[in-house]
């Protein structure tokens, strides 16, 4: 306990006073019994040297073990080194020495990542906005997405906190208190896979991640195969309305833009290098979308279609004329999370119903 044993301390070895040298003939080799005294003396000296050498080696091993352990502890290559080392999506290095069993999520997307990897039982805290899968709504809350309560997080004694790129101040405070934080900040499908893989690495969920990715890739391929017969000119023009006043849509930096593209559609504002740009009513009319999508919390499709048609000039838009205005699950479309494939499949069915009957 408490370090390597000191080689100079051997129990049972005490300083002893040697007896006086006996008279000649006491030892057998000094008596005339036909023994070669010189050879025997040499043999005993050799034996003594071997014993001394073994003791020296033993002491050298004792003294060296502490320095080796110290080097391993620093490099992570020893038995006491971290179990997992990763660089998260904020470029931060994170080392974990065990498999975290108590996890707090600071965003709805991160909560979905955790549950997709089978970690629901390890979630001890989520935000007020975490609502999928439905059972996580009953988990203890740590506040809002943009303003989580650090005291509540600490009180839950988490071994890992799943943060977003907007939580820099929170993660800094948590790390000052010795609480590990992993930042997941996906913006597209490739980033989503990276987020899942990072979380799988630190939670020892590699097999579940591999299965999830394989299934997702398979479903995306099925959509792409169904769309393969389409000519580029047959791809439908799509307008996604984020907000009605002021009008907001999706630009090329939005996850919704990627969903539209993977589903075979053409985002009418793909040329805008923003996430959610403000657009003009005239621009929507001029670009004449063939399909209009909107978050279903705006109201029913019938109600919104009537409102859209009442806008100046919108009555002649192809999507409204043909009745192709559809409400979609806002969370599945807007959250860069594992349900992106659900959104792709739903969009593809709206764009090309004949191909996905």
pLDDT digits (tens, 9 = 90+) for 111-153: 999 999 999 999 999 999 999 999 999 999 999 999 999 999 9
Q: Could you give the C-alpha distances from 203 to 17, 130, 300, in angstroms and in order?
A: 64, 20, 41
Do residues 246 and 329 share a domain? yes
In a domain, 115, yes or no: yes
Which structural domain, as residue segments, surrounds residue 156? Answer: 84-204
Do residues 242 and 197 share a domain? no
In a domain, 70, yes or no: no
In a domain, 199, yes or no: yes
Q: What three-state secondary structure class fits 19?
A: coil
Do residues 163 and 239 share a domain? no
| Residue of 231, 266, 269, 232 lying closest to 252 (CA atoms) | 269
In a domain, 334, yes or no: yes
Do residues 103 and 188 share a domain? yes
Tens-place pLDDT, residues 298-347: 567 777 878 898 999 999 999 999 999 999 999 999 999 999 999 999 99
Do residues 264 and 332 share a domain? yes
Q: What is the pLDDT of residue 66?
A: 27
| Residue of 65, 67, 70, 97 lying closest to 81 (CA atoms) | 97
Tokens of 86: 């990763």
Question: What's the CATH code of the domain at 347?
Answer: 3.40.50.1980
Answer whether 86's CB lies under 8 Å from 184's CB: no
* Whether the bond into 246 is cis, omega within 30 of 0: yes
Q: What is the pLDDT of residue 81?
A: 85
Q: What is the pLDDT of residue 306?
A: 82
Assign residue 25 a region: left if phi > 0, alpha if psi is -120 to 50, beta otherwise? left
Do residues 244 and 344 share a domain? yes
In a domain, 28, yes or no: no
Do residues 340 and 265 share a domain? yes
In a domain, 96, yes or no: yes
Do residues 175 and 243 share a domain? no
Q: Phi, psi at residue 62, to the nearest 5°?
A: -65, -45
Q: Which ranges of the chain would DSSP assign to H, the alpha helix?
A: 37-75, 108-116, 150-155, 168-176, 189-203, 206-227, 255-262, 281-287, 301-309, 318-321, 330-334, 340-351
| Residue of 9, 161, 2 lying closest to 66 (CA atoms) | 2
Answer whether 308's CB lies under 8 Å from 279's CB: no
Residue 96 forms beta bridges with which residues?
84
Q: What three-state secondary structure class fits 74?
A: helix
In a domain, 155, yes or no: yes
**Strand 247-248, strand 243-244: pairing:** antiparallel
Instruction: Report how many domains make up the chain.
Output: 2
Q: What is the pLDDT of residue 49?
A: 63
pTM: 0.77
User: Tens digit of pLDDT per residue, the chain (357 long)?
Assistant: 444 433 333 333 333 333 444 444 333 334 444 445 455 555 566 566 665 655 554 444 443 322 222 222 233 334 578 999 999 999 999 999 999 999 999 999 999 999 999 999 999 999 999 999 999 999 999 999 999 999 999 999 999 999 999 999 999 999 999 999 999 999 999 999 999 999 999 999 999 999 999 999 999 999 999 999 999 999 999 999 999 999 999 999 999 999 999 999 999 999 999 999 999 999 999 999 999 999 987 567 777 878 898 999 999 999 999 999 999 999 999 999 999 999 999 999 999 999 998
Do residues 101 and 172 share a domain? yes
């Amino acid at each position: 306990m408490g370090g390597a044993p000191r080689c100079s301390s051997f129990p049972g070895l005490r300083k002893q006073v040697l007896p006086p040298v006996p008279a000649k003939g006491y030892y057998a080799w000094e008596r005339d019994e036909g023994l070669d005294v010189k050879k025997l003396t040499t043999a005993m000296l050799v034996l003594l040297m071997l014993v001394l050498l073994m003791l020296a080696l033993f002491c050298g091993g004792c003294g060296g073990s502490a320095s080796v352990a110290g080097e391993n502890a620093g490099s992570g290559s020893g038995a006491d080194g971290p179990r997992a080392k990763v660089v998260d999506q904020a470029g931060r290095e994170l080392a974990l020495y065990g498999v975290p069993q108590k996890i707090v999520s600071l965003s709805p997307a991160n909560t979905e990542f955790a549950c997709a990897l089978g970690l629901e039982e390890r979630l001890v805290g989520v935000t007020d906005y975490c609502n999928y899968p439905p059972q996580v709504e009953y988990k203890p809350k740590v506040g809002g997405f943009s303003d989580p309560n650090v005291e509540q997080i600490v009180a839950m004694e988490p071994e890992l906190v799943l943060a977003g790129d907007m939580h820099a101040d929170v993660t800094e405070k948590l790390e000052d208190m010795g609480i590990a934080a992993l930042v997941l900040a996906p913006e597209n499908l490739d980033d989503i896979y990276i987020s899942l893989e990072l979380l799988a690495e630190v939670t020892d969920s590699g097999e579940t991640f591999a299965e999830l990715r394989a299934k997702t890739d398979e479903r995306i391929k099925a959509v792409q195969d169904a769309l393969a017969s389409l000519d580029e000119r047959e791809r439908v023009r799509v307008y996604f309305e984020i907000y009605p006043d002021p009008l907001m849509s999706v630009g090329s930096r939005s996850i919704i833009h990627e969903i539209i593209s993977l589903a075979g559609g053409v985002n009418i504002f793909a040329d805008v290098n923003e996430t959610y740009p403000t657009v003009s009513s005239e621009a929507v009319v001029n670009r004449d979308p063939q399909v209009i999508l909107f978050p279903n919390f705006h109201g029913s499709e019938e109600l919104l279609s009537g409102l859209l048609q009442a806008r100046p000039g919108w009555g002649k838009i192809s999507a409204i004329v043909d009745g192709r205005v559809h409400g979609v699950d806002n969370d599945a479309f807007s959250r860069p999370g594992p349900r992106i494939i659900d959104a792709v499949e739903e969009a593809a069915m709206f764009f090309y119903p004949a191909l996905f009957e």
